[in-house]
Amino acid sequence: MYFEKKIMRFVILFTLSLITLTLHAQTLITLEKAIDIAGVNSPDIKLSMLNLQRYRESLNAQRASLKSQFKFNLTPAEYSNTRQFDTRFSEWYTNETFRTSGTFRVDQRIPFSDGTLSLVNRLEWQKSISDFQNVQSDNESFVNYLYLSLNQPLFTYNQTKLDLKEIELDYENAHISYTLQKLNLEKNVTQFFYDVYMAQMSLRIANEELHNTEESYAIIKNKVDAGLVAKEELYQAELNLATAKSSLQNQEVTLENAKDEFVRFLGMDLYEEILIAADITTSPVEVDMEKAVNYGLNSRMELRQREIDLEASQFQLIRTKAMNEFRGDMELSIGLTGDNKNFSDIYQNPTQNPRVAVSFNIPIFDWGEREARIKAQEAVVQTQELNLSEERKQIIIDIRKVYRNLINQQNQIEIATQNEINAQLTYEINLERYKNGDLTGMDLNLYQTQLSEKKMAYAQALINYKIELLNLKIQTLYDFVNNEPLVPEELFKDN
């Protein structure tokens, strides 16, 4: 396997990278550890979790609102003194009233019919004094109103069911978004992780370049001092040495900047020193494109999100059609009213209070407002249907792209492997020529730069392949490395 022959080399390179970094305490970060840390501390995950919590509690509140609601209203004291006109006798009279009351009610929504059933009991004590035609009268009594009522909409949609279903879809959508955020988090953490790794590797290579340049500088200086080569070669060697030192400093800055971005994304303390530990060696993974597309279409959660968007637009269409519609309302109530000076005799002579009311809303003419709004919302529904169809096509295209990229990256790894070997051999041969005085310092520097570039290109090719494998896992929700689905197959076979 063309990957296996580089394993030992990268073990050695990683060991060297540990030696060249600063000696103060550092936190060792592997890719798995980085993903775990980000899963707890990442600001993106925290925001997504808070959004999920918001919709979960909204759903709990909506479900709780469908249960019996118990309410009690207390009015400890109410006083009034009014001057009113009696139309029966065309006389003015004065009424002074003191009242204290309490109302207990139980409201129960009826989901299957969108009605509301209420049981109400109102108890009050009042003392009233009236002055009419210079005759004063007073009354002091307990009064109790007990009745059962039903309010029922007619000829319209069930708003209770629709509201509950809409909140359930919102919660499901938030849960999907949270799951997708976790998958994207893994991808982003991996990208940041390898950015830091490549910065570490660039720093190590810059150190190697500086070491090689210092050796070549010492060689040419000894030759110039001995008068074996022209002094111009020393000037070039000094220039190469200064360039190598500058390159090292640049790579140090790049590494520190990459670390800061990585630590911030993980949600770690910005002042915590970290050290990346990675094994980028990998083996080719066999991928069946037809299988990958099938898994993607059956398990991608974005499709469910588009379906939720479609259902939500259909709900809004139902509400839009209810504008200026013919509808009715029915109110039924039956109860007893009792009053007496003595509380124990309050229902000695009760009065029945039945009530039936049916009302209708009959639209006549709205200048075409309802029809226009319905057409506008129907266009929204069609848009969501188109989005769902296009999402399916995009999933197929994305998976095909990843598959082609994987094949290409395998070829790129083979090319990069051979290029690094050739660059290493070329540098070693020309280093001997340089030592023998058959090559200038400028030419040797070109071979050194070429070797560094090929080393970086090989490492980048391996990393690109691993990232494409991760991208394939996210696109298909199937782990081709371990040959297992991320979503149990029985869950999407029923879809």
- pLDDT score of 377: 93
- Measured distance CA(103)–CA(131) in Å, rounded: 30
Residues 335 and 295 in one domain: no
- pLDDT score of 25: 59
Cβ(278)–Cβ(31) below 8 Å = yes
Residues 78 and 124 in one domain: yes
Residues 343 and 423 in one domain: no
Q: Lowest-pLDDT range, 14-18, 184-188, 194-198? A: 14-18
Residues 404 and 333 in one domain: no
Residue 415 lies in a domain: yes
Q: Has residue 6 got a pLDDT over 70? A: no
Give the total residue count for the chain: 495
Residue 436 lies in a domain: yes
Residues 205 and 278 in one domain: yes
Number of domains in the chain: 2
Q: Has residue 122 got a pLDDT over 90? A: yes
Helix, strand, coil % over all residues of the chain, rounded to 5 = 60, 20, 20
Residues 281 and 429 in one domain: yes
The per-residue pLDDT for range 293-323, each reduced to its tens digit, is 998 898 888 899 999 999 999 999 999 998 8
Mean pLDDT of the chain: 86
The per-residue pLDDT for range 73-118, each reduced to its tens digit, is 999 998 888 888 878 778 888 888 999 999 999 999 999 999 999 9
Q: Has residue 369 got a pLDDT over 60? A: yes
Residues 150 and 284 in one domain: no
| Range from 37-46, 160-169, 179-188 that averages highest in pLDDT | 160-169
The per-residue pLDDT for range 338-353, each reduced to its tens digit, is 988 888 888 888 888 8
Residues near 380 by beta carbon (within 8 Å), at least 6 away in sequence: 313, 316, 317
Residues 52 and 181 in one domain: yes
Single out the residue of 200, 176, 136, 157 nearest to residue 55, CA to CA: 176
Residue 265 lies in a domain: yes
Q: Has residue 13 got a pLDDT over 60? A: no
Range of the domain at 244: 4-57+164-311+382-493
Residue 373 lies in a domain: no
Q: Has residue 459 got a pLDDT over 60? A: yes
Cβ(329)–Cβ(307) below 8 Å = no
Kindly indicate the confidence band of residue 22, based on its pLDDT and cuts at 50, 70 and 90.
Answer: very low
Residue 318 lies in a domain: no
Looking at per-residue pLDDT, the higher value among 9 and 163 belongs to 163
- Measured distance CA(343)–CA(349) in Å, rounded: 13
CATH number for 29: 1.20.1600.10
Residue 252 lies in a domain: yes
Residues 233 and 98 in one domain: no
Residue 142: strand pairing partners: 125, 340
- pLDDT score of 208: 87
Find the DSSP H helices in 138-231.
159-225
Single out the residue of 216, 205, 333, 198 nearest to residue 261, CA to CA: 198
Q: Which amino acid is at 60?
A: N
Residues 96 and 143 in one domain: yes
Kindly indicate the confidence band of residue 275, based on its pLDDT and cuts at 50, 70 and 90.
Answer: confident
- pLDDT score of 402: 92
Residues 194 and 262 in one domain: yes
Residues 219 and 298 in one domain: yes
Counting DSSP H helices and E strands in the chain, the numbers are 10, 11
- Measured distance CA(44)–CA(186) in Å, rounded: 12
Burial class (CB in 10 A: 0-12, 13-18, 19+), 187: middle
Residue 368 lies in a domain: no
- Measured distance CA(471)–CA(399) in Å, rounded: 9
- 222-231: list long-range contacts, CB under 8 Å, 24+ apart: 223/437, 228/437, 229/437
Q: Which amino acid is at 181?
A: Q
- Measured distance CA(267)–CA(249) in Å, rounded: 27
Give the relative orientation of helices 232-266 and 159-225 as an angle to the nearest 10 degrees.
160
